[in-house]
Amino acid sequence: MAVIAGLWNPEPRYRLTRHNVGAEVVGILSGRWDTSIGRGPLRVRARVGVTRRDDEQVVLAVPNANMNVSGPPVQSVLRYYKEEPERLIVLHDDMDLDFGRLRLAFDRGHGGHNGIRSVLQSLGTREFWRLKIGVGRPPGRMDPAAYVLQKFPQNERQEVDVMLEDAADVVEMWLTDPEGARERAALRR
């Protein structure tokens, strides 16, 4: 089994913001796999969809919580489905990566990302996969929190959509070939 968790802020006003790119990739995968994502089982604090890919059960999840408190919902998914963190991939925005870049990492720290910090604290381990989706740094002296909560400018949206499709391709490859997926992510410019 594998668990794919896309971090986000669930309020409608945050739809299509930089901070929500992880959940957007989960949405792309659910569309590709014809898997609906809805209310999870009672003890699961996330919206989930369950499907099979290459003879493996796959859980798509987006927490029922804001980004900075994503850890307990992600942990609830792993606990309910009796899965180890090593078969978890968390999808999230990353300001330290240039816009459009992707990086697949395993066993890393939070890098200043509060959503990942929460996941690390809840799981008690760094031994899970992360797909970092580059959104770039804020311009000038702009507050980083305000920057990630903004929608992408219209002139970037087409490139964002291509980047998110590429991110979904990396996740699909990760299911069967994590090292190949890491290389594929690194090639994204």
93-142: pLDDT as tens digits: 999 999 999 999 999 999 999 999 999 999 999 999 999 999 999 999 99
Q: Please tell me the distance from the alpha carbon of residue 164 to that of residue 6, in angstroms, as a whole number.
A: 12
Is pLDDT above 90 for 189?
no
Query: Which single residue is written with the structure tokens 């987006």?
Result: 62
Task: Please report how many Cα atoms fall inside a 13 Å half-sphere around the Cα of residue 146, on the Cβ side.
Answer: 6
The sign of the dihedral angle between the CA atoms of 45, 38, 62, 128 is positive
CB 89 within 8 A of CB 131: yes
Q: How many residues make up the chain in this entry? A: 189
Count the domains in the chain: 1
Percent of the chain whose predicted confidence (pLDDT) is above 90: 97
Q: What is the CATH number of the domain that holds 92?
A: 3.40.50.1470
Instruction: Give the residue numbers annotated as catalytic, written as ranges.
Output: 19
What average pLDDT does the structure give for the chain? 97
CB 128 within 8 A of CB 119: yes
Per the structure, the complete domain to which residue 113 belongs is given by: 2-187
- The token duo for 60 is 């798509």
Instruction: Give 17-57 pLDDT, tens digit per residue.
Output: 999 999 999 999 999 999 999 999 989 999 999 999 989 99
Q: Is the pTM higher than 0.85?
A: yes
